[in-house]
Amino acid sequence: MAEKVKVTLLLSGELVRRVKSRLALDGKSLSGVVEELLSVYDGLRFLDELCEELGLESRFYTGLEVKADRPKGLRAEDVTREVRDEREERLLGH
């Protein structure tokens, strides 16, 4: 097990009370969640370095940006429905 280090943080009292209350219901500790978030943040550094090495853009996109950047044209559900309808016609001989 990795060595643990005591850390002092200055956080909003109201935020800490709300979060600790929720964590108690989930059976988790504030320390555990902070450590988990720091691990994720540390993993992001790896991803940033990988993107740089591969010449890829490294940034987060909002849901609205993803939706706006989707290719226009056929919708997957429409194509799927058409394929299923054609298969049904072939199988039933209509």
Residues 88 and 94: their CA atoms lie apart, in Å, by 8
Residues 21 and 27: their CA atoms lie apart, in Å, by 10
Question: Is residue 6 domain-resident?
Answer: no
Give me the domain span that covers residue 36: 13-69
pLDDT in 10s for each residue of the chain, 94 residues:
689 999 999 999 999 999 999 999 999 999 999 999 999 888 888 888 999 999 998 888 899 998 898 888 888 899 999 999 999 999 888 6
| Single pTM value for the model | 0.51
Query: Quick check: helix, strand or coil at residue 20?
Result: helix
Work out how many domains the chain is built from and give that number: 1
Question: Is residue 7 domain-resident?
Answer: no
Question: Is residue 53 domain-resident?
Answer: yes
Structure tokens belonging to residue 38: 């720091």
Question: Is residue 8 domain-resident?
Answer: no
